[in-house]
Amino acid sequence: MAKSARLLRTLVLLSAIHILVLGAGFFGPYDPDVQDRELPFAPPTRLHWVDARGRFHFRPFVCPYVALTGRFGVYKADLRQTFPVHFFVRSAERRPPGVLHSRWHLFGTDDEARIFLLGTDEYGRDQFSRLLYGGQVSLLAALVAAGVSVGLGLLLGSVAGFCGGLIDGISMRLTELFLALPWLYLLLALRAFLPLQTPPRMSVFLFIMLVGVMGWAWPARLVRGVVLTAKERNYVLAARGFGASDAYLLRRHVVPQTFGVAVTQAGLLIPRYILAEVALSYFGLGVGEPLPSLGNMLAEIQPHNLTSSHWWMLLPGVALIPVLAGYYSLADALHERGGLVQV
Amino acid sequence: MVECLVGAFVGLALSSPFATLWPRSSPQTEELLGTDGEVGRYGGRLVVAERTEPKTLNPVMALDDVTLEVVRRMTADLIHINRQTQRTEPALAKAWKVSRDARRYTLELRHGVRFSDGHPFTARDVLFSFRVYLDEKVHAPQRDLLIVGGKPIQIEQVDPYTLQFELAQPYAAAERIFDSVAILPEHRLEKAYQEGKISAAWGLQTSPDQIAGLGPFRLKEYVPGQRLALERNPYYWKVDRKGNQLPYLDEIDFLFVANQDAQAMRFEAGETDVVSGLNAENFAVLEDQQQHRGYRLYDVGPGLEYDFLFFNLNDLGSGAPAEAVGKQRWFRELKFRQAVSAAIDRSAIVRLVYRSHGTALWSHVTPGNKLWVDSSLPKPDCSHARARSLLEAAGFHWDSKGILIDSDGKPVEFSVITNAGNAARTQIATIVQSDLAELGMQVQVVRLESRSLLDRVFTSHDYEACVLGLVSGDADPNPEMNVWLSNGSMHLWNLVERQPEWPWEAEIDHLMRQQATTLNLAERKRLYDRVQLLVGENLPLICIVSPNVLVGGKSDLGNFNPTVLGDYVLWNADQLFFRHDQGFKNK
């Protein structure tokens, strides 16, 4: 029961994160590529419930930031002007580069003011909206890449384990090679080798294919291990005795045994691929501007002084923590549970 | 065109007690150049960070700023432009005479000067050097600057220490030609030249005893990827006011720190002694700390650098893919370029990228060049409306989603390449991308490593648009010749052509050649003003902004006088010194 509860909690957390991220257009008040050039590096907007006269309002309000003259990136809140926060705001039609976008937003404020929950970056773009849209790209890319890796690993591992002999030998030597190679450098080298002038969406696709294909080795080995045991089981031998073909045996009896391992592996690979995207973006080889991703948002904080003077730029890194923790926890829970699942 | 005799600085025979410290023979026969700076103390190692390794140690092939910064510390020229006064002064030539028709310059060389390996310097080395630079097969970048009136300079040796330079036409800034034309050692490079291999000579791996120069320093060692160390040249021919031989520094170490931010960090930590090319963010942070940390920062004012966006207008040849040809049709359309220029928000770029330590530009001469800038040029504000009407007039239209479509129905999208190591250019490209997105153009910003970027622009011409910057070597228009001449080696937007393709290009060619031979300053200015106007109207380079020169140096460093002209902090490396003992520098 405790195991189920843990699995349930993890799934709820991850679902919440993914719903938040998929609904970036709804939960985020602004488009991720809109530059507010008067407000670069604006700090997170404070929400006020008590106005200057001491009256309490149920509806929170924001005060606009005004740049101090002569100083770059230093602002003072103008407390005399107040703009209420509205909920379920409708905005003008735009084409933001995201998976799902909508004209309705959960919250927003009047046009003259801005509500930057997590501040802005150097171009005045809302970090909160960019975080959500960036999460879309990063999480989705990692998910699909993990799917590619596990899929490839399943295919090659089960064929290797089932056939044995030369095919098995070659496949396993290949996995050893892939595991021995320093994956980060290989990734960088391969990415730099491919055409650099790719539109942002294409660069996401390239990343998925590259990382996904490179990561097949470990799942393949695990799957092979399971297949080696599974193919010796009594019911498999019995089925073979009844004249079942190899393909039938694989499909019906052997491969379903591997699902537990495969899913657990996917749960472990996803955080690793999220971090791979962050690493690639740090070197400028990740997702192209202006499409945000967790990686290129973190790459923006390379200038060392940024984190001391503009601390909110670190928040995408902090936001990664529940995501990674959630996936590792999921992999753990599945391992405890799913590794023993019999189909 | 008056015969003039330029007074030479008095050479001092070294008779001070320091004579015994340096390995020199017969000091009385040397003629040394005295300098004006504060008298300093000997010793110390200057540590400088460079963004990348120099590409070569060969003065003939040195082209990019990092290579030049290293090579110029090891070489010397005949007549030098003082970076602070911006005037010419004697260097290896101690005096010169100009003929009445301003076509013949007779230079007298210093006697008794030796190369850094001890070999004597004579007129033969000068003859050899100019022969190499002017040889078409060598493809030296300086060749363009040594061609006056369509003909290369003629040199004749009058006696072992006197040379005559003959120009085909009177040349306005003839003295300035000699600056940074490094004199090569014939005894070291003659063989390579005879074999036709001189452009490959003196690569980074060359051992120090193979290299000889006349500059204040000579190569000590090179550790690939880590540092390049120069040591004092014991035969250097300059002295300070008290007659002490220069340079004061024992050594200059160049470290390779790829990132501007990492460079600023190391300077802040005290690991490097000077820093130049600071970006505005680092400047702001360092400025706050300067009281406590023993260094000082300087905003020297607008420099000569101009940052711009340009399109690939090279003739792609018959084998080019149709897509590339189609895109180039847009770039070649003047109204397209004008629309792009109208859409760029220059004031936002100055504010956001350079934190107001910069100036917006509409043509290539910056306000830092007070003598030559044409202040009457139009400076139109950013206007999307004007950009849209220009695009409409050029046959573009917008679809229902707001994407710009050309007359063939193709959506307008292209990539802009820029230097990955230069955060400011990437930011400029990102802001331009956002501005052009308002017009419905899809622009991708691609960051490339510097060598790969230069390869695409100069060699393979495999790019669509590029954000780059150029720094003029001198305030005078003449060093810019190879940018503006149609067959020039820096004619970035169209390196393939040898002849001007458009009437305005032909006019610029003509104007540049004419101003080079006009001696009247006011007339030259008028001609060059017209060049600036043509550039601003026809936009081969869409000039965007000019950053101020931001540098820093340790407070302990004497004679530290950063300038706006190139080699901002190291131009007087031979006079830099540390006021106090540096102690142990662990590197």
Tell me the pLDDT tens digit for each residue of A4-51: 788 888 899 999 999 999 888 888 888 888 888 888 889 998 888 887
The residue ranking higher by pLDDT, A148 or A93, is: A148
CA distance A74 to B124: 62
Query: What residue type is A305 in one-letter code?
Result: N
Most confident of B24-28, B66-70, B97-101: B66-70
**What is the band of B10 on the pLDDT scale with cuts at 50, 70, 90?**
very low
**Interface predicted TM-score (ipTM):** 0.80
Q: What is the pLDDT of residue B113?
A: 92
Among B261, B442, B444, beta carbon nearest to A303: B261
Q: Which residues of chain A make contact with B447, given a CB cutoff of 8 A?
A: 284
Give burial (CB, 10 Å; 0-12/13-18/19+) of A135: buried
CB contact under 8 A, B444 and A200: yes
Place of tokens 């910056």: B366
What distance in Å separates residue A198's CA from the closest CA in chain B? 7
Token pair in block for residue B294: 């023993």
As a whole number, the mean pLDDT across chain A is 84
Give me the residue spans of the domains in chain A.
27-124, 129-338
Residues of chain B within CATH 3.10.105.10 domain(s) are 305-547
Interface contact flag, B352 A40, Cβ < 8 Å: yes
Q: What is the pLDDT of residue B48?
A: 95
d(CA A246, CA A280): 41
Q: Mean pLDDT across the stretch B476-482?
A: 84
* Tally: H helices and E strands in chain B: 15, 26
Q: Report which secondary-structure segment, H or E, holds A89.
A: strand A83-90
Q: Which helix (H) or strand (E) holds B515?
A: helix B503-517
Q: Which of B88, B55, B84 is nearest to B69 (CA)?
A: B55
Residue B225, min C-alpha distance to chain A (Å): 18
Query: Under an 8 A CB cutoff, do A289 and B430 touch?
Result: yes
How far apart, in whole angstroms, are the C-alpha atoms of residue B394 and residue B374?
30
- pLDDT over threshold 80, residue A97: no
Give the pLDDT mean for A109-131: 88
Q: Among residues B249, B218, B221, B274, which one has the least CA distance to residue B72?
A: B218
In the predicted structure, residue B21 carries a pLDDT above the cut 70: no
Tokens of A309: 């003077």
More confident of the two residues B75 and B567: B75
Residue range(s) occupied by CATH 3.40.190.10 in chain B: 17-255+555-578
The C-alpha of B295 sits at a distance from chain A's nearest C-alpha, in angstroms, of: 18
Average pLDDT value for chain B: 87
Instruction: Name the residue of chain B whose CA is nearest to A38's CA.
Output: B348
**Chain B residues within 8 A of A198 when measuring between CB atoms:** 444
Distance from CA of A125 to the nearest CA of B (A): 11
Confidence of residue A245 (pLDDT cuts 50, 70, 90): confident
| Interface test with chain B among A120, A130, A289, A313, by most B beta carbons within 10 Å | A289
In chain B, what residues touch A95 (CB-CB under 8 Å)?
401-402
CA B374/CA B363 separation, integer angstroms = 9
- Mean pLDDT for B167-178 is 84
Chain A nearest-CA distance from B3, in A, is 53
Task: Give A147→chain B minimum CA distance, Å.
Answer: 28
Option in A72, A123, A303 nearest B356 (CB): A72
Q: Which of B352, B356, B420 has the CB atom closest to A122's CB atom?
A: B352
CA B136 to each of CA B130, B151, B157, B203: distance values in angstroms, whole numbers, following the listed order: 12, 12, 22, 21
**Range from B210-219, B422-431, B527-536 carrying the lowest mean pLDDT:** B422-431
Residues in chain B within 8 Å Cβ distance of A199: 413, 442, 444
C-alpha B288/C-alpha B300 separation (Å) is: 17
Look up residue B79 and give its two tokens: 């007549």
**A147-156, A300-309, B458-467, B519-528, range with the lowest pLDDT:** A300-309
- Return the residue in B266, B268, B281, B282 with the most chain A beta carbons within 10 A, the one to mutate for interface testing: B281
Please tell me the distance in Å from B420's CA to the nearest CA on chain A.
8
Of A33, A124, A289, the CB nearest to B445: A289
For the domain made up of A129-338, the CATH class stated in words is mainly alpha
Burial environment of residue B258 by CB neighbours within 10 A (0 to 12, 13 to 18, 19 or more): middle
Mean pLDDT calculated for residue range B422-444: 91
Q: CB distance A199–B413 less than 8 Å?
A: yes
Instruction: Give the C-alpha separation, A263 to A251, whole Å.
Output: 17
Looking at residue B19, its pLDDT comes to 35
- Please state, in angstroms and rounded to a whole number, the distance separating the CA atoms of residues B247 and B573: 7
Closest chain B C-alpha to A277 CA, distance in angstroms: 17
Is the Cβ pair A123, B431 closer than 8 Å? yes
pLDDT in tens, B241-273: 888 998 999 999 999 998 888 898 899 999 999
What percentage of chain B reaches a pLDDT higher than 70?
Answer: 94
- pLDDT tens digits, B327-360: 999 999 999 999 999 999 999 999 989 988 999 9
Q: Do A288 and B445 touch (CB under 8 A)?
A: yes
Q: List chain B residues with CB under 8 Å of A206.
A: none
Interchain contact, B434 vs A123, CB within 8 Å: yes
Quick one: angle between helices B260-268 and B280-293, nearest 10?
Answer: 10
Q: Which ranges of chain A does DSSP label H, i.e. alpha helix? A: 2-22, 24-27, 127-163, 165-180, 183-193, 200-214, 217-230, 234-241, 246-249, 255-282, 294-299, 306-309, 315-338
- Rounded to whole angstroms, the Cα distance separating A67 from A74 reads 6
Q: Which residues does chain A have within 8 Å of residue B323's beta carbon, measured at their own beta carbons?
A: none
Task: Give residue-wise pLDDT tens across range B194-235.
Answer: 999 998 899 999 999 999 999 999 999 999 988 999 999 999
Per-residue pLDDT at A341 exceeds 60: no
The answer to whether A29 touches A115, Cβ cutoff 8 Å, is yes
**Per the CB < 8 Å rule, is B448 touching A196?**
yes
Statement: B305-547 belongs to CATH 3.10.105.10: yes
Residues of chain B with pLDDT > 90: what percent? 53
pLDDT at A95: 56
CATH number of B17-255+555-578: 3.40.190.10
- Which among A72, A288, A290 has the least Cβ separation from residue B355? A72
Give the three-class secondary structure for B414. strand
